[in-house]
Amino acid sequence: MTTVPDTEKIPLAKPEVDDKEMELLEKVIHSGDVSYGPMGERFEADFAEWLGIDVKDERAVAVSSGTAALHLGVRALGWGKGHRVLTSPLTFVASANCLLYEGAEPVFCDVERATLNLDPAAVEDALAKRPAAGILPVHIFGFPAAMPALEAIAERHELGVLEDACQALGAVDAEGRKVGTRGNLATFAFYANKQLTTGEGGMIVAPDATTAKRLRSERNQGRKADTKNFEHDRLGFNYRLSDLSAALGVAQVKKLNNMLEKRERVAELYEAGLAGIEGLDTLPSSRGSERRSWFVYPVLLPEGADREATIDTLEDRHEIEVKQYLPCIHLFPQFKKGGWQERQFPNAEAAADRALALPFFPSMSESQIGRVCEALAESLR
C-alpha cells in the first residue's frame, strides 16, 4: 500500500484498494456476470455476518447508493403525502431528499451540542406542537445517535424509525450494539470516502425477511423476488448494485476491521497534533459505551475564524485539500415550504458555520498528519 508523498498535495480522501479487490474484479469480469449475479449475494451475506445479524434471514439488501437505500426505507415505512417525518438539519441532503421523493414533509429539529446528532428533547418539542409519522435520525460523522431515547419516543407516539447510518458503519451505540442492528430499517453508503467503498453503492438492513423481500423487489423494478421472468407486481426502481461493485465490497468487508483501526489511529494522531490550537474544537471518539466510526475528520474552527480564507490558504499555499463539512440543509430551496428560518436551530447552525473537514484516509502517514496540523495552525494565525 502506497501513501501520498509528503511533497505532494494531500487529498481529502483516498480509498484503500489493493490486490484482493483486483483479484475479485477480474473474477467477475471473466465470469460474465458483471451486472446482477452471485457476487451481490455474497456481498450481502458477508456484510450481514460482519454486522452481526442473521445471515439466513437475508435482511441485508445491497443497492446502488445510500440515497437509494434511504428512498426504499421511506417507502417500506409507508411515508408519503401528508406525513411529517422528524429529522436533523445537519446532514447530507439525501437524508431529507428521500422524504420529498415520496411527498413526505421533512420536519427539522435541532441537534445535541455534544454529539451533533438529533436531540430527543427537540423531537419531543416538535411532537408537542404537531403529530408526525416517523423519525429519521442521522448518525452524523459516524457518532451513534441517541437511539434508545428516540425509540422510546417513537414507541409512545407510534412512529416509524429509519436510521441513516450512511456515515456510521462500525459505530457502537449507548447499549453496546453496532449501529444498524437494533431492528429498525437502517441504511449504509459505500461512496469512495466511506469506511467501506464499492465506488458507489449502499445497503439497507431490514427488520425482517418479509420486508427484505419487498426491498429486493423494489430495487429491481418491482420484479417478483422469486422469479427470473419479467413479472413485475409493484412499482420499483433500478437500484441494483452491479457485481463489479459487489466484488469491491466483498474484498473490503474482509479487511474492514483493519481499515477501521487505521482510521481510529489517524484520528488519534490528529487529536494530539491539533491540541495546541487555541479555540479549535475536535469531536469526541467515544462517550461511555458509545464509539464513533471515523468517516471524515471534521474540526470546528475557532469562533470568528475566516473559514474561506483558511481553506484558500491550506489549498493554495500548503497543497492540502479541505472542505466545508457540512452545511445545514433546512434553508435549501427544496425545503422552503417548511418555512424554516436562519438561526432556528442554534446548535446545528453553529456547528455548520465552523466545521471544516481535514484530509482523512487509512493510509495517512504520521508526517502527513503533522503537516496538516502545522499548516492549519499557521493558517489560523
**pLDDT tens by residue, 293-328:** 999 999 999 999 999 999 999 999 999 999 999 999
The boundaries of the domain holding residue 269 are 257-380
Model confidence at 7: pLDDT above 90: no
Statement to judge: residues 229 and 276 lie in one domain:
no
Tell me the three cell numbers of residue 227.
422469479
Statement to judge: residues 163 and 31 lie in one domain:
yes
Q: Does 77 map to a domain?
A: yes
Statement to judge: residues 61 and 202 lie in one domain:
yes
The owner of cell 475557532 is 302
Summarize pLDDT for 126-138 with one digit per residue, the tens.
Answer: 999 999 999 999 9
Is-contact 128 101, C-beta < 8 A? no
- Name which of 1-15, 69-83, 124-138, 169-183 the model is least confident about: 1-15
Is-contact 276 331, C-beta < 8 A? no
What is the pTM assigned to this prediction?
0.96
**Which sign, positive or negative, has the C-alpha torsion 350, 354, 359, 365?**
negative
Statement to judge: residues 120 and 185 lie in one domain:
yes
| Number of separate domains in the chain | 2
Q: By three-state DSSP, how is residue 163 classified? A: strand
**Which sign, positive or negative, has the C-alpha torsion 195, 300, 163, 268?**
positive
Model confidence at 1: pLDDT above 50: no
Q: Does 107 map to a domain?
A: yes
**In the chain, what is the straight-line distance between the N-terminal and C-terminal CA atoms, in Å?**
35
- Name which of 154-168, 193-207, 225-239 the model is least confident about: 225-239
The whole-chain average pLDDT of the chain stands at 96
Q: Residue by residue, what is the 3-state secondary structure of 215-243?
A: HHHHCECCECCCCCCCCECCCCCECCCCH
What are phi and psi for residue 361, nearest 5 degrees? -160, 160
Summarize pLDDT for 201-228 with one digit per residue, the tens.
Answer: 999 999 999 999 999 999 999 998 766 7
Q: Does 62 map to a domain?
A: yes
